[in-house]
């Protein structure tokens, strides 16, 4: 029986992650698994041979980068659908079948992605819609929101994409899909020439999304399909190199699409980041468990929480809690170590949501504690304005 899905997984010193990733895929019917090893030195290839003896394994003698290795793996398969999956991620039971059924049911869909949970407890979700840098992003959403800080009552329009996935169950059409895990028609992937191999890592997903939409294909996130993604696991060993690739790939992406002012701002941001000295995200350094708390909203039955180290919420996490405090995901604690945390809370009252203004908590803010407390404190939401769910705050 011919496979329905070719699963392509790239590893580079990911022996500690790949086992769980493979286990989640092997239990799915109708798949062929292709693992491309980009010159690992930690024995990852042996882990693959032992954990998935039926998988095709190709070991490169040099690290070819994400895009080239994924193209290499895709060419080795024959199924009509391609799943690209990070080794630091694993699918929840039935998730791949849900994605495959949805993609097969709509001929105009080129690719679909799942909901991405940050932790195995399924408490927090990561943003799954990458937001490319634009002049508006730099000059307005990021700089102005950083200046306004506490009190900003509006959100960027792209926050609607995040909220549609974080807090909804219906498929949502989006302009971009995260390369950490997505399913694409092989015909659409080959029509646009696959990944652009000029992108060693980062921005290859944004670039591919652009080219798919340019050929008339639609992209969609299917929230009823879920995976757990340990964000940053694959680049956490060498965070400085990861950030270097991020900014280099960003410049490559902007070179084909952006105006000179945007390219200059991105270059300046890369120089600023190179000078910044922070604890490496994803390192083994211990970060204390951090919790966020706020004053209760009368009549609220639950709260939606949005958090990010970025004032413009270009990326972040969302969750739903039943009380006036929450424990931050470990990854967000690492990202915000020594930096401000930006956050909003939406309180459910009947059929409406009351969204707070944007909040900025410095590392020593009383609202950020080492563990949650039962008493009310921190910031109040009483001055928020009632809006229908889904409207920007």
Instruction: Please report the pLDDT score of residue 338 as a whole number.
Output: 73
Phi, psi of 317 (to 5 degrees): -140, 155
299 domain residue, yes or no: yes
Contacts of 325 (CB under 8 A, 6+ apart): 291, 292, 293, 294, 372, 373, 374
- Mark whether 56 and 98 lie in a shared domain: yes
67 domain residue, yes or no: yes
Which residue bears the tokens 């609202």? 367
Closest CA to 195 of 26, 10, 61: 10
Percent of the chain with pLDDT over 70: 81
- Mark whether 206 and 123 lie in a shared domain: yes
Token pair of 238 as six digits? 């060498």
Point out the domain boundary residue: 275, 301, 332: 275
**CATH number of the domain to which 200 belongs:** 3.90.550.10
What pairing do the DSSP bridges indicate for beta strands 5-11 and 81-85? parallel
- Mark whether 211 and 306 lie in a shared domain: no
- Mark whether 207 and 313 lie in a shared domain: no
Q: What is the mean pLDDT of the chain?
A: 84
CA distances from 186 to 86, 175, 197, 301 (A): 18, 19, 17, 45
Instruction: Please report the pLDDT score of residue 47 as a whole number.
Output: 97
157 domain residue, yes or no: no
Tens of pLDDT, residue by residue over 276-310, are: 544 444 444 445 677 889 999 999 999 999 998 88
CB 353 within 8 A of CB 389: yes
363 domain residue, yes or no: yes
Tens of pLDDT, residue by residue over 4-37, are: 999 999 999 999 999 999 999 998 999 999 999 9
- Mark whether 264 and 321 lie in a shared domain: no
**CATH number of the domain to which 343 belongs:** 2.60.40
- Mark whether 99 and 46 lie in a shared domain: yes
169 domain residue, yes or no: no
- Mark whether 209 and 264 lie in a shared domain: no
CA distance 236 to 228: 17
CB 168 within 8 A of CB 69: no
Lowest mean pLDDT: which of 178-187, 309-318, 343-352? 309-318
How many structural domains compose the chain? 3
113 domain residue, yes or no: yes
Lowest mean pLDDT: which of 53-62, 167-176, 224-233, 285-294? 285-294
- Mark whether 99 and 192 lie in a shared domain: yes
Quickly state the pLDDT bin for 212 (edges 50, 70, 90): very high
- Given a cut of 70, is residue 105 above it in pLDDT? yes
Q: State which residues form the domain around 78.
A: 5-130+176-229
267 domain residue, yes or no: yes
- Mark whether 88 and 187 lie in a shared domain: yes
- Mark whether 337 and 375 lie in a shared domain: yes
Instruction: Please report the pLDDT score of residue 139 as a whole number.
Output: 65
- Mark whether 12 and 117 lie in a shared domain: yes
18 domain residue, yes or no: yes
- Mark whether 271 and 353 lie in a shared domain: no
């Amino acid at each position: 029986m011919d496979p329905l899905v070719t699963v392509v997984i790239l590893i580079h010193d990911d022996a500690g992650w790949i086992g769980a990733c493979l286990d989640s895929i092997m239990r799915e019917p109708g798949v062929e698994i292709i693992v491309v090893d980009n010159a690992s030195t930690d024995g990852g290839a042996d882990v693959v041979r032992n954990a998935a003896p039926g998988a095709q394994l190709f070991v490169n003698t040099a690290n070819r980068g994400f895009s080239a290795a994924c193209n290499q793996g895709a060419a080795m398969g024959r199924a009509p659908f391609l799943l690209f999956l990070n080794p630091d991620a694993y699918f929840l039971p039935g998730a791949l079948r849900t994605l495959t059924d949805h993609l097969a049911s709509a001929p105009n869909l080129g690719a679909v992605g799942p909901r991405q949970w940050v932790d195995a407890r399924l408490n927090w979700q990561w943003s799954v819609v990458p937001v490319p840098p634009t002049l508006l992003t730099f000059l307005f959403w990021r700089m102005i929101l950083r200046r306004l800080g506490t009190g900003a009552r509006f959100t960027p329009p792209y926050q609607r994409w995040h909220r549609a996935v974080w807090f909804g169950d219906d498929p949502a059409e989006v302009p971009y899909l995260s390369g950490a895990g997505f399913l694409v028609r092989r015909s659409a992937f080959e029509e646009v020439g696959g990944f652009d191999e000029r992108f060693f890592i980062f921005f290859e997903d944004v670039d591919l999304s652009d080219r798919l939409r340019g050929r008339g294909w639609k992209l969609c996130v299917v929230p009823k399909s879920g995976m757990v993604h340990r964000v940053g696991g694959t680049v956490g060993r060498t965070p400085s190199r990861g950030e270097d690739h991020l900014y280099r790939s960003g410049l490559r992406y902007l070179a084909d699409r952006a105006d000179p002012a945007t390219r200059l701002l991105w270059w300046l941001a890369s120089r600023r980041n190179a000078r910044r000295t922070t604890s490496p995200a994803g390192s083994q350094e211990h970060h204390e468990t951090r919790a966020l708390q706020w004053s209760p909203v009368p009549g609220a039955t639950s709260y939606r929480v949005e958090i990010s180290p970025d004032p413009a919420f270009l990326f972040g996490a969302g969750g739903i809690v039943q009380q006036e405090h929450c424990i931050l995901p470990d990854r967000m604690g690492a990202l915000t170590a020594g930096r401000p945390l930006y956050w909003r809370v939406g309180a459910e009252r009947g059929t409406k949501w009351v969204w707070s203004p944007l909040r900025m908590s410095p590392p020593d803010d009383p609202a950020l504690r080492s563990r949650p407390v039962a008493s009310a404190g921190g910031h109040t939401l009483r001055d928020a304005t009632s809006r229908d769910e889904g409207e920007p705050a």
